[in-house]
Every structure is written in C-alpha cells, then in structure tokens.
A and B are shown apart, each in its own frame.
Chain A
Amino acid sequence: MLGYLPRRLLQAVPTLIGVLLVVFFFVRALPGDPARLYAGPEANATEIAQVRKDFGLDRPMPTQFVYFLRNLTRGSLGLSFRNNQPATQVIAGHFLPTLWLSVAAIAMASILGIIAGIGAATNRDSPVDLGITVLSILGISTPSFFLGILFIYAFAVRLHLLPISGGPTAAGIVLPALTLAASSLGTIARFSRSSLLEVLGEDYVRTARAKGLHRTRVIGRHALRNALIPVLTITGLQFGFLLSGAVIVETVFNYPGLGWLLIQSIDARDYPVIQGLMLVFALEFLLINLAVDLLYAAIDPRIRYD
C-alpha cells in the first residue's frame, strides 16, 4: 500500500508531460489569432502587432514553448491574454465555485441515485421499478440546457423561490446543482439497479437468506457492498466530468466556474488559461481514478494493493 501510492503518482508524471506537449501545440493549431480577437474588429494592423508583442506571440514557437516550460517550473502559467492577470490566479478563482457545484451535484446524484437503484432492484418489475426506470431515463436524456431553463422558469421567474445565479452561495447553488445532478442521478440509479440485481442472484446472497437473515440485512450488509463497486467507478467518473466544469449548466445559470471560464478562454483564444485548464482537468482525472482505486480496497477487502 505504502509503495503503491508513490508509484501511481510517479506514473502520472509522463502522462502530464504528454498532456503539456499536446495542449501547448494543440491550442496554437486552432484557427484564430488571440491578438486579433483581443483587439477586436476596430483594431488596425499596428495595434494588432503591438498586442501580439505584448502577449509574447511574436517569438518563434519553440522559444514560446521554452518560456512556457520555464514558467511552469516556477509555478506560473503566464498572464491571461484576456485580463492580464496570472492564469493560475484566474483558474483558482473559478475552481472553487466548480468544486462546490460538483460536490453538491454528486452528493445529490449518488445519494438519491443509490436509493432509487435499491428501490428499483428490490421491487423488480413492479410499478415502482418501472417508475424509477422511466424517471432515470428522463434524467439522463433531458438536455441540461432545457432542464435548466425549466427550473429557472419555475423556481426563479414564476415562484421567486431561488435566484438564477449569484455564484456559489447556498441558495444560488441549488438550481444549477439540481440540473447538473439530473443526468448523473439517472446513470447512478440505472447502474445500482442492475448491479444489485446481479448480486442478488449470487449464491452467497441465497445462503444469507437461507440462514434466515432479515431482508434489510441481506441487502444492506451482504449484497450492497459488492454491488456498489461498479457504482463507485461510475460515480468517480461522473465526478471527474463535473469537476471539469459543466459548460452548459454554468452558462445557463451564469455560474462562474471552470466550464464558464473554458468557454470564455476558448472564445478569446486565451492560450495561457486554456493550457492551465487542460492541465487541471488531466490532473483531476488522474487523482479521481486513484481515489476510486483506493476506495475499492476499502469496500472490498479482497482487493489489495502492494
């Protein structure tokens, strides 16, 4: 276990270097000139040349790459083209709102999703199962921009119960989190249902029942622990996606998270921030996968890392 963690972290290093290379050259391959976009349609060639120089884009690409790496070793991603602030600071400012939103959404999705999954599995083929299945599929397949607009119309415009936006405040987070949770909730419910059904057919569950154990105990103690492993994987993955910023939900609710920042930065071809965001996203997925692997061991004692 103690050897495992550092080894996994070390393995991440080549991945991150690969990401760096791809990202640096990939953003520059995008059509569109950051200087032209920053200066706007009202700028003439002299101004654009000046802006390009201010951004350091007048240097040859290899030189830019060396500067980029040198900055990285100092913990800097360079200055944002869009607002001349350190890119690290810009990203950090949008990271926390996304983190809160993701945590709120994944908490709603996993708790409600697992409960719904258990409900459906234990009432297999009953109207309850059918209802949960239909709702889950609706949750997965309703586009979030549509669901978001419905929520805004109902809870903010009509009922004046909750604000549309307002950033990561307790009231401001409810609607975007709920919208964001809907699809994950559906996925998690579907997964828990099928996973639990599979486990319920296993011999050891039959044995537990034959022993005369109470139904709740059979499911809670014996079946659920095993059934949860695939659910955990999917929840981890969903969390990773949420953490990368929910572009659509953040746009609809005007929520200043990473997805919102990504859109703004791509629009402006803000290379330093786009590069930084890609690095952050890659890092998030690496860490979440690691955390999920470690959680396996906690849930299933048969899984050991050494």
Chain B
Amino acid sequence: MRHTIRLALASLLLLAGTALGQQTVRIAQSLSHNTLNPAATTGLADASVERVIFEGLVGLDKDLKIVPELATSWTISPDATVFTFELRQGVTFQDGTAFNADAVKAYFDWATDKNNKTSARAQSLYANVKSIDVLGPYEVRFTLTAPDATFLSNIALYNGRILSPASIQKYGADVGRHPVGTGPFKFVSWQEGQKITVEANDSYWGPKPKVQRIEFIEVPNAATRVAMLQSGEADFIESLPAQLVASVNQSPNLEAVISKSTYARIFPLNTHFKPFTDVRVRQALNYAVDKEQLVKVAVQGYGTVMDSPVPQTVRGYAAQTPYQYDPEKAKQLLAEAGYPNGFSFTVLTFNSTEFKTAGQVIQTMLAKVGVKVELNPTERGALVSQIFKPLSETQLEGSLVGASTPNGDADRTLTQSFATSSFPPAFNNWSFYSNPEVDKLIQEGRSTGDQAKRDQIYAQAQSIIWKDAPWIFLYSPDNIAGQSKKLTGVYYMPGQTIDARGAAFSN
C-alpha cells in the first residue's frame, strides 16, 4: 500500500514537472569557449554567451540595426569625432554595483589601457578613443583622435559590452572567468571544454527572462551536433552544414532555420601578378564562373550570389550589375588581353568540404575558357601564415577564402579588403588591390556623420571595385541553424553569433 502511495506521489511530481515545462535551453556551439571578458573576446562562441550576460551602450539587432541598450539616446558630432551618450537609469550589475557614467568610463579606460594583457582586441578596435569624459552621472562623452563614423558600430560589437567595474577590481586579468554584467542572465559555472551555464537574473531591468537556465555546450563536430538535436540533448544548434538540412527537417519536431549572413566567399586575385594585372583578365574570370551553379553545388543552394563586394546584410550595401555567366565573353576578354589560349595558376584554399567543393566547381568552369587552376587545399593555420605574407614575399596568385563584416558596416568590408593600407600583413587586402579613388572614398565615408551621405559614398566605392574586379565575386553563404520547434526567441545573427536573451519554450 505504502508503495502504491509513493508511486502515486512520484508520478504526481513528475506531472507537475511536465506542467512547468522545460526550463533549461541547451545550445550546441561549434567553437570552443576561451574567455568571457568582452575586451578580449575574438571568438563567436564566447560572444554568444556574453550576449546574455552583458550589455553595451548600443547593440545590434538581428537585422544589424544599431539599437539602444544601456544608452537611451546618443548624438554624433557632424565630423564624427564626438559621441555623447545618455545612459539608462536604475540599472545595476549582477554583483549589485550601480551602472552609471563612471562604470562606462572605468570599463573603456581599462579595456583600452596599453598595459592590459587581456584586452588586445579592445585596444585595437578602440585605438582612436582620445578621451572619455563623465559629463554627469548618466551622461558620458567619447572623443576620438580622428573622425570615425564607424565608432558607433564598433561599440555595438561584443567588445563594447560593459563589465562591472567592481569585478575588474576584484579579478583583474582573470575577469574572463568571472563575468559580471547587466544582462538578463548571470554566470553560474564553466566546465572546461564542456559547457557554460547561466541562469535567469531576476533583477534584470528589461523584459524578464522566460527560462531558468541556458547551457552553452561545445560540440565541434557537426554530425554530433545534429545527432544531439535529434536525440533531444540539444534544443538549438548552430553551423548546421547545408547537406544536413534535409535530415533535420525530416523529423517532425525539428526545423532548420535559414537566414542571410555577413559572410562572403571570395576569390582574391593578386593584382600585382601577371596576368591579373590586366583588369580584362579579372573580369573574364568573373564572367567564366556560373555562380548560381556554384551555390547549388557548394552549399546546396543555401547562399546568395554576390552582386556587390559588400554582402546584402551590411549597412551601406549597394547592388551592382551582375557579371552574368558568359564563357564566350570571358574567352573574348582573355583574347583581348593577350591570352587566347588561357593560362594556369595556383589557388590556395581551406581543406574543408565547402571550400574544396567550391574550388573544384570553379576549376571545372575556368577550364572551359582555357584557364587551368591548380587547387592547394591547406589546413587553416598553415593557410593563414601563407596568405598574410607581404607583397615582397608572397607567391600567392589566387585564393579561395572567406571574408566577414562583424560590425555590419560597409566601411569595415571595404577597408579590410580593398584599402591600400590593408595590404597583408596589416589586414585582409589579399588581392593587393590599390586604387587611390577608393582609398579617398573610404576616408570620406568614415569622416561623415550623416548615414545617408555615407551610403552614397560607399555606393560609389562599390561600383569602382566591382568594375575593377580584384576578386572573383562568388556568394554569401546562408547561416543555417537547427532547432526544436518548441523553442522560440533564439536568433542566429548575420555575424554567426547567437542571441538567446529571449529564449522561451512554447507547449
């Protein structure tokens, strides 16, 4: 009898548990966790965890629009050198420290301090901050050394999220293991190489979290991530490979979620090496590649053919006239440039499935116009050391690689890939493209506070680069995530971080 009662009680408890619903969201990430110190963060997995713990003055929404977070409003001087923020009142950090202008100053002073050994990223990203002045308890002013309209986009990035000044005092260089912010979830534990757990912050100033806990699990292997989703061990997985979309959609409780990204697959041609010194050759290669077909084969159709050097999701993107697939025209251009029988060259690429497949497709297409490509798939570390060699040392003729625009601003895309000052090893101008006109436009865009004017300037720059064709412009791959249909409010952002602040389960 007693046994029966116990059993009944147990099943009641079980029922109650089910009625309360699932309270822990489990998110499987492809990259490993390194630090939860925003000033040091360079990894997307870390940035995704930080998204729920911390907030910045401003942030980026899922369409990369700049939105208020800890600042309620801001003004930018017409020359884009002085940025003044009005701060939200009544906000406290998770350790009870009050959030105010002093906290903002304390964080940025610490993060940009040249002697700080755990903030290399913030030091470089905010190198142009001359001074931070507290104008009142809830008003703070950033003055830059030179005009920079992208400053707002840069503090909207994950490195601009603000740590509790008390936690910096207390933990110093180890603050990345003891993160304290103002966000809707607070840090609970970090199991090295396994997962980071956060729990709801009940004193959050904004909309209350709808789940008790979130676990961010490290799962580097894509097939394992999918299996965990299917077995119910994960509710959300990122970086779902295109070939596995169908197998996720097959199960009735799961769905693949597809969205546009800030990433691009690019094919820089070394514009200082023959025959790529001739713009006709570079254009010819653009006509010779059938990008629609390429997207179908390399990413199962989950991608957008590029119609500008800048991906469509980025602020300041302007569409250009596509290089329609036209092998005859390509041959004609090659003949005009003095290569009627084509030529051959070597291409460096990653040894991952997508890049190798794309490389083989392009190889076949270029062969049809007489251009022989030798593919050289290489491990990431080795590739990186080759691709960043200066012009005087490099032997690179072409490469098939990726580019991204983390802050969602066209200035970033154009500067890193096309400015003369960005020749490797300084930055990512892998085609060693140099056009004084483009350099001037980039500078102009950065010194203009007015976004409409900036858009015009960037449209001009994009049009010049498009015609100069320093790359074979390929495609922007979609971001693909997989999730349980019960889960809502978790977004896979264009920059491939995850925003799980609004995570909830529906029944």
Is A160 a contact of B193 with CB atoms below 8 Å?
no
Q: Which residues 360-392 in B have Cβ within 8 Å of A in the complex?
A: 379-382, 384-386, 388
Please indicate the chain A residues that have their CB under 8 angstroms from the CB of B217 in the complex.
165, 254
Is B120 a contact of A50 with CB atoms below 8 Å?
yes
Cβ contact of A41, chosen from B223, B227, B402, cutoff 8 A: B402
Is A160 a contact of B227 with CB atoms below 8 Å?
no
In angstroms, Cα B384 to Cα A43, docked, is 12
Is A54 a contact of B427 with CB atoms below 8 Å?
no
Is A83 a contact of B425 with CB atoms below 8 Å?
no
In angstroms, Cα B209 to Cα A96, docked, is 36
Contact size range, A: 35 or more
Is A90 a contact of B221 with CB atoms below 8 Å?
no
Is B120 a contact of A51 with CB atoms below 8 Å?
yes
In angstroms, Cα B168 to Cα A82, docked, is 20
Please indicate the chain A residues that have their CB under 8 angstroms from the CB of B219 in the complex.
165, 254
Shortest beta-carbon distance, A97 to chain B, in Å? Answer: 8
Shortest beta-carbon distance, A20 to chain B, in Å? Answer: 23
Q: Which residue of A lies closest to B177 (CB)?
A: A85
Q: Which residues 243-263 in A have Cβ within 8 Å of B in the complex?
A: 251-254, 256, 260-261, 263
Q: Say yes or no: is A58 at the interface (Cβ < 8 Å to chain B).
A: no
Task: Indicate whether A165 sits within 8 Å of B382 (C-beta atoms), given known contacts A44-B427, A47-B124.
Answer: no
Please indicate the chain B residues that have their CB under 8 angstroms from the CB of A156 in the complex.
227, 231, 233
Is A167 a contact of B34 with CB atoms below 8 Å?
no
In angstroms, Cα B177 to Cα A251, docked, is 25
Q: Which residues 1-37 in B have Cβ within 8 Å of A in the complex?
A: 32-35
Q: Which of A30-38, A70-78, A284-292 participates in binding chain B?
A: A30-38
Of A37, A45, A166, chain B has the most CB atoms within 10 Å of the CB of A45
Q: Which residue of B lies closest to A160 (CB)?
A: B231
Cβ contact of A38, chosen from B42, B123, B192, cutoff 8 A: B42
Contact with B along A25-65 (1 / 0, CB 8 A): 00000111100111111111111101100100000000000
Q: Say yes or no: is B173 at the interface (Cβ < 8 Å to chain A).
A: yes
Is A90 a contact of B218 with CB atoms below 8 Å?
no
Contact size range, B: 35 or more
Please indicate the chain A residues that have their CB under 8 angstroms from the CB of B33 in the complex.
83
Q: Say yes or no: is A164 at the interface (Cβ < 8 Å to chain B).
A: yes
Q: Say yes or no: is B232 at the interface (Cβ < 8 Å to chain A).
A: yes
Q: Which residue of B lies closest to A50 (CB)?
A: B120
Task: Indicate whether A54 sits within 8 Å of B118 (C-beta atoms), given known contacts A94-B193, A153-B227.
Answer: yes
Task: Indicate whether A164 sits within 8 Å of B194 (C-beta atoms), given known contacts A41-B402, A83-B33.
Answer: no
Please indicate the chain B residues that have their CB under 8 angstroms from the CB of A85 in the complex.
177, 192
In angstroms, Cα B335 to Cα A77, docked, is 60
Shortest beta-carbon distance, B314 to chain A, in Å? Answer: 14
Contacts from A to B (Cβ < 8 Å) = 30-33, 36-48, 50-51, 54, 82-85, 90, 93-94, 149, 152-153, 156-157, 160, 163-167, 251-254, 256, 260-261, 263-264, 267, 269
10 shortest A-B CB distances, which residue pairs? A32-B381, A47-B124, A256-B193, A31-B382, A50-B120, A156-B231, A45-B426, A93-B192, A83-B34, A51-B120
Given contacts A46-B124, A84-B118, 11 further A-B contacts (CB under 8 A): A31-B382, A32-B379, A40-B42, A42-B416, A43-B42, A50-B120, A84-B173, A93-B193, A164-B227, A256-B192, A267-B380
Contacts from B to A (Cβ < 8 Å) = 32-35, 40, 42-43, 117-118, 120-121, 123-125, 127, 173-174, 176-177, 191-194, 217-221, 223-224, 227-228, 230-233, 379-382, 384-386, 388, 402-404, 406, 416, 422, 425-428
14 A-B residue contacts at CB 8 Å?
Answer: A40-B43, A41-B384, A41-B428, A45-B425, A47-B123, A50-B120, A83-B34, A84-B176, A164-B233, A165-B224, A254-B220, A256-B194, A267-B380, A269-B381
